[in-house]
Amino acid sequence: MDNSFRETQEKFAKTLGEWQLASHLMYKKIVERMKEMEVIFEYRSHCMEDGKNNEVFKLLKEEKLKQFPNFVPISAPFSKSDWIITPIGALPLEGRTIPTVYVAGSLDGKGGGSYASLWVPESIEHLEISQRPVDLKKRLDFAYVFQFVTEVVAIYLAIKEAQLFNLPEIRVVTDSFFFMDRFKRDWITLDGRRVAHHGLYLKMKARMESIQVHFEGAKLTEENGDELLVKVHEMAKESNDKYMEVPVTNRE
């Protein structure tokens, strides 16, 4: 592990500690305020069945749209996604077969994580064996990993794998709604700030200058029992059970 990576890891750990301290201090302030008045908390998620009829959330959504006219709400975490992001100038996917890869990330519950990519056999069987990309399942070898990090790394390395085999066009299927949302916004939050891991995003964009990448969002639901999505998640979890080889991401 080189010094630059170790320094980055230590800096991240320090930032995480500061964030946790700030959160704890805010919690103490809230508790102190609550001593002065009676407060009743009620949880009402917009994902709940009554969310669509919840007048409070309707008003909040209207206010958000006024503040951010280009706001695109993300679907509920457990709902099916029909999001598709197609490169400018690319031909529609309908009626065509292009190499397709499923990606997923997983956490081990101890601060670590892993990722996996699974290429759809039918989508690459027309390629010469020497041109077929390989499935990956590897463990990230640094601590304090978030789910979003494992998902972005999985997508980035799938694109890199496709380039190693000189594929001109691929389709990436992911259930990371956070990635789909941030990618559509050019890695910028609603209030204009950069999303975390902006450097990795720039690397990804640079690679996509020489390969057309279609993104498709997918979620497991009762209607959408995607076996490949289940399998790629199992592959990612398997990588957490056994330490795999050090991923390429730490050598770039």
Q: Determine, yes or no, domain membership for 24.
A: no
Q: Determine, yes or no, domain membership for 57.
A: no
What CA–CA distance (Å, rounded) separates 54 from 57? 6
From the number of C-beta atoms within 10 Å of its C-beta (0-12, 13-18, 19+), residue 114 rates as buried
Provide the residue range defining the domain that includes 173: 78-251
What CA–CA distance (Å, rounded) separates 121 from 118? 9
Q: Determine, yes or no, domain membership for 1.
A: no
Q: Let me know the angle formed at the C-alpha of 244 by 122 and 10, rounded to the nearest 5 degrees.
A: 125
Q: Determine, yes or no, domain membership for 64.
A: no
Q: Report the CATH number at residue 141.
A: 3.30.420.10
Say what the pLDDT of residue 53 is: 56
* Residue corresponding to tokens 């990956």: 136
Q: Determine, yes or no, domain membership for 240.
A: yes
The alpha carbon of residue 222 and the mean position of all alpha carbons in its chain are separated, in whole angstroms, by: 22
Say what the pLDDT of residue 155 is: 96
Say what the pLDDT of residue 170 is: 96
φ, ψ (nearest 5 deg) of residue 126: -80, -10
What CA–CA distance (Å, rounded) separates 128 from 242? 32
Say what the pLDDT of residue 250 is: 31
Q: Encode the chain (252 residues) as per-residue pLDDT tens digits.
A: 456 556 665 665 666 566 666 667 777 788 788 788 777 666 555 444 445 556 666 777 677 677 766 555 544 444 444 578 888 888 888 888 899 999 999 888 777 889 999 999 999 999 999 889 999 988 876 656 788 889 999 999 999 999 999 999 999 999 888 898 889 889 987 777 888 888 899 999 999 999 999 999 887 665 666 889 989 999 998 876 655 444 433 333
Element spanning 140, H or E: strand 136-140
Q: Determine, yes or no, domain membership for 56.
A: no
User: Are the beta carbons of 131 and 167 closer than 8 angstroms?
Assistant: yes
User: Are the beta carbons of 150 and 114 closer than 8 angstroms?
Assistant: yes
What CA–CA distance (Å, rounded) separates 16 from 4? 18
Number of domains in the chain: 1
Say what the pLDDT of residue 37 is: 79
In our burial notation (b when 16+ CB lie closer than 10 A, e otherwise), range 26-48 reads eeeeeeeeeeeeeeeeeeeeeee
Say what the pLDDT of residue 75 is: 43
What CA–CA distance (Å, rounded) separates 197 from 145? 12
Q: Determine, yes or no, domain membership for 4.
A: no
Q: Determine, yes or no, domain membership for 184.
A: yes
